[in-house]
Structure 1
Amino acid sequence: MATAQAELEDPLCNLRLSITSGTTPILTTSADTPSAATTVSSLAHATHITFNAEVTFDFDGHHKTFALTEPTRMVVVDTTCDLRSVYFAWQNKDAETLEYINELTHLNEELPSGAGGSVQSIPAALRTELYKYLNGEAEVVDCIKPLEGAGLSIDAEKSAAIASGQFGGVALDKGGDSQKQLDGRLLVIYDGERKMGDHNTMLRGSRPVDFSTYRKTAQAFFKSRPTPLAAPSTTIVSSLQKKPSRRLEPIILLSPSASSLLRMSNIKTFLNDGTFVPPNATDSSSANLLHLTRTLPSISSAPLRFILVDSTQNFKPPYWARVVAIFTTGQVWQFKSYKFTDPVALFSHYPGVHVGWSGEEPPSQVQAWGRGVLSVRVDKWTGSSEGRWRDREVVESIWGRIEEGMRRGGWGRDGPGMAR
């Protein structure tokens, strides 16, 4: 049975067949037949990917090679993913979301300009669909466009064979007539149909959802429901009108770049204790969310609790009103998922902070962003935290900038006075 030419030339089909057959593709730096001189192990150094002729559609014995910059049928928010982004996602199929983002950041920083640009981030839900398609669990997924022309030659041969009586179609058992066969054209139509789920799959999706917490909340309301002709329950009314007792916590965003002097592993020591320690000199297994407290006299007499994160992966739109500072290294890719992707617009709404080494000028792009970004310098690390009294002065200037921005934003005891 001949394979459609469209499937033969499609990189996703070749990658899928390679994965289901258990054969690892070859990363190379050339479009020619792989050799010891052109084969590499790093995705950052490769420019092409080659699939073994024994497991691909090419039965003529030739290797199938594709450029890693070649677009695929994978679509993320109306943007076509290239082959490098898809293969990187498959390589990190077992990684958690934070680990996937960190690996993606490192790969983009390692890619030379000649390797074809940046690797695109694929959301977790779409990565799950992609994995099901690549490992053969699903033939059709929403995030991958159908292959034009694929399977038409195969369907034509099946239909011709059924019509000529070479082999039977699908037997029907209607009214005892077990010999009646489906027409070949109907088989082609059935193959193109999408299977619809029942009400359970539509409501719950592919994973079971525990609604027990909502049941407990509903039971509390039903128990306190008034009897007919009785006055409304004052308990329910008062609880609905009561303001939340917990005040909103301001958020500080850190740069996820590996070149940043301040990361999740050392930011708390710096802002809390006023001492700079390099990120690699501390515990590398840092959390993706931290808390610290600080008293800002012009905002509140009570200590404020701040949230520190280096990713907006789980950000909701209301969270942006609570952002009070954004640390940056000057790399624009940091702002791709932010509320404002343009740095000038971003730092006109939120105070920016750039931390560099003493004696070094800030990057030209940071200077071009204007007074919206505060540039500060710390003494270079000498291997010991002793004698770093200048760090406290730098930390106080940063907190002063944060307090000034919060005061202008109308922050009070319970949170921000206005949404940005």
Structure 2
Amino acid sequence: MASQDPLLLLRQSIAGGGNIIPTASPDSDEEAPLSTATHLVLTHPNRVALPIDAPTRFTSAEGKAVDLRSIYFAWINRDFAIPEYNAVATKLNEEMAGRASVHMFAFVERLVLFTFLEGASEESEFIKPLPGEKDASTNASAAAAGTASKIVSAALSRSGRGTLDPRLAQIYGGERHMGDRNTVLRGIKPTDFSHVRKLAAVFMTRKPGAPPLAAGIGSGTALSLNQKPARRPDPIILLSPSASSLLRMSNAKQFLEGGRYTPPDHNSSQSMLHVQRLMKDIDPSRPMRFILVEGPEQFKPEYWNRVVAVFTTGQTWQFKNYRWSQPAELFKHVLGVYLGWRGEQPPESIRAFGHRVLTCFVEKWRDPSQAGAETSRWRDREVVESIWKAIEVNMRAKGWRKDAAPTSF
């Protein structure tokens, strides 16, 4: 049925701003990793759970039906360029280890898919028509021809009752029916061509020295041919470079993404890494990518607008090259985070920084080979969730939105 068509349901949910959640069962509303999810739950206009491996009407260039997981994965990564998209798709396929795989869309396929999901188009060579619509073009051409015969039939059926002369009905039967604007220009259903304005804008930019164009055409807001749409920058988290810090580049990803603490590897030479996190109160449709670095040496001045958290051990030398080198001033603008061992008091300097520094504690590390070493590690996830919640609240207060970042503090 059309009402249960995955493509249409997904498009309706996107248009209505509803939540789209991968889950491990049809009755659950708890988000599951895309690699292990079994269903995709849509909350708008009504809650519906679709099997995530269900084939859709979208067919690849090779003629194969593309599954719902691939469609959803391409949508949440729509801002990525083709090389970045292929990289994250390859990573997801490795995580699924042969149980399933996502289709890697070619450029034209992605363009057609996004145009359809955004509601700018209805038909495409890659999208099969719904049952009952495949003969739409035939019906449109037959509509005009059938109208004349209907008039003749109606006229003849009324003749003899004093309402229409049979000779007049014969004249009506010889008329050429022109149809209306929908049947002649657009087929049997209206089509929205408003998206053409966006496509044409790049060709209507006024050249230097050319006379002004009409109002609304070729204005300064039109994109140049080589200009890409503005993209929300990635937020930045600064880690402490101190050797005594419990969180370093070598273990930050496993802790902040996986929710499990392991000791840092002090021989690691990483200078930057990325972690992803779904910030539901900012952008519920796709995870945000965070950049983690241990120092601002490569910063441009505007990068400080993107710093959302600073991990510190309380040693003030860490802030020497910061935009705000005094802790009192720094933590007025940026959230501070201290991570220590449970059962130990934080340093006096951390307590002096005040409430602007979030103080968190993890269980002391024990060798996993020891009995009971893993029994207390479940608390790590609680600590991670409290850190992310504080970062999200701070980001919203600073002006982070689904499609925009703060431009100044």
Structure 1 length normalisation: TM-score? 0.43
- With normalisation by structure 2, the TM-score equals 0.44
